[in-house]
Amino acid sequence: MSNLMSNYSPLEVTFIKGEGCWLTDTKGDQYLDALSGIGVVNLGHCHPVITKNLVDQSQQLLHTSNVYRIGNQEELAQQLCNLANMDKVFFSNSGAEANEAAIKIARLYARSKNIEKPIILTANQGFHGRTMATLSATGQSKVQAGFSPLMSEFIHVNYDDIDAINYYKNNSDVVAVMVEPIQGEAGVIIPKNDYLNKVQDICKKNDWLLMLDGVQSCIGRTGKLFAHEHNGITPDILCLAKGLGNGVPIGACLAKGIASKMLTPGTHGSTFGGNPLVTAAALGVLEVFQNTKVLENVNEMSEYFKSEFETKFRNNEAVTDIRIKGLMIGIGLDNNIVDCSQLVKKALKDHLLINITGSSIRMLPPLIITKKEIDILISKLIKLIST
């Protein structure tokens, strides 16, 4: 028994080293990591550029308060704004906190419009975090169970259903729509190609903020640096975390136009948010995306995975569908043929790290994965599903 609270139930393995797509446990055994710490180490474990930035920065200065200017933070904000066509950034320590900042901005936006009881439209099955506000925004009852009363400003509508959003067009209390470009925790749910464009059209017509939660789907995961680039749109708010630090805790709430003017001195803050160390890591992440062909690799490996999977699993009755965008992968399984509840442990025994959501396998492998590693992954999946 450990002294940790029981909110996690960790598997019986401890990793002590990581390199690229591979993790090594205390016995020296190697595991193929097809999860990247749940979409975090997108550039692979212990990427040399990130490690160097962390070592150099830790020898220089770890932390100063946001009471003072932080050079790395200003540099990172400028690069993110240039890359995402946004105006301003608030740095947090996690995805939930980035979303929390977005929700606070939406409240201030409501105040600016004299709306007393603002409504934010969010999606069923969406996931936005575990703080009280983001838990309320989340559209999964299993995550919310036991925590009522929740914040009442969220109305959940069906994902990828434009009529469900349009239904609220005459409701003058609505101030924002908050959705994931691709739903991650729901098991990789990819909306129709023009869904986000249509959501943006409705937001523009009604003066609502479009708040995209790109915590899981951005930072190269779908083959573009930001997932909504596939739609050629710019949201009012974009939340990032996970892959932004490649393993160090950093989140970012980017805002454009009126949304970027809502936070004024004293309205929000974070002790650690955007400190010199974490922003050094994130600068390294952006440098790697700029100087190497990571995004090309994502698109190439995505196609390779798809074609290999279709060849090898064409006649496999257990597989119902495959949902894939870049290296965000969901494989639907028939629960009557495969016992999904056992698959994570079974995969672990075969030294493969995956995740199960409902009756789907979810995989978010490092974006630097090679064809050889995909071959290993596919052969492990064949064993996993057919035994």
Ligand X SMILES: Cc1ncc(COP(=O)(O)O)c(C=O)c1O
Q: Which residues bind ligand X (CB under 6 A)?
A: 38, 94-96, 99, 127-129, 180, 184-185, 213, 215-216, 241
Would residue 174 be called left, alpha or beta, if left means φ above 0 and alpha means ψ between -120 and 50 degrees?
Answer: beta
Closer CB to ligand X, 96 or 324, in the complex: 96
| 3-state helix/strand/coil string of 220-231 | CCCCCCCHHHHH
Q: Minimum distance from CB of 269 to ligand X (Å)?
A: 17
Q: Minimum distance from CB of 134 to ligand X (Å)?
A: 7
Closer CB to ligand X, 212 or 301, in the complex: 212
Q: Minimum distance from CB of 184 to ligand X (Å)?
A: 4
Q: Is 14 exposed, middle or buried (0-12, 13-18, 19+ CB in 10 A)?
A: exposed
Distance between start and end Cα atoms, the chain:
32
What residues contact 208, with CB distance under 8 A and at least 6 apart? 121, 174, 175, 176, 177, 202
For residue 366 the two structure tokens come to: 């490092």
Q: Minimum distance from CB of 247 to ligand X (Å)?
A: 12
| Strand order across the beta sheet in which 154-157 lies | 88-92, 251-255, 237-240, 209-213, 174-179, 119-123, 154-157
Closer CB to ligand X, 215 or 319, in the complex: 215
Closer CB to ligand X, 131 or 370, in the complex: 131
Give the integer Cα–Cα distance in Å for 35 and 56: 28
Closer CB to ligand X, 215 or 338, in the complex: 215
Give, for 76, the enclosing helix (H) or strand (E): helix 71-84
Amino acid found at 291: N
Q: Is 108 exposed, middle or buried (0-12, 13-18, 19+ CB in 10 A)?
A: middle
Q: Minimum distance from CB of 8 to ligand X (Å)?
A: 12
Q: Minimum distance from CB of 185 to ligand X (Å)?
A: 5
For residue 214 the two structure tokens come to: 């790109």
Q: Minimum distance from CB of 6 to ligand X (Å)?
A: 18
Q: Minimum distance from CB of 155 to ligand X (Å)?
A: 18
Would residue 322 be called left, alpha or beta, if left means φ above 0 and alpha means ψ between -120 and 50 degrees?
Answer: beta
Which residue's CB atom is positioned nearest to ligand X?
A: 95
Give, for 142, the enclosing helix (H) or strand (E): helix 141-144
Closer CB to ligand X, 130 or 380, in the complex: 130
Closer CB to ligand X, 191 or 384, in the complex: 191
Closer CB to ligand X, 79 or 140, in the complex: 140
Amino acid found at 22: W
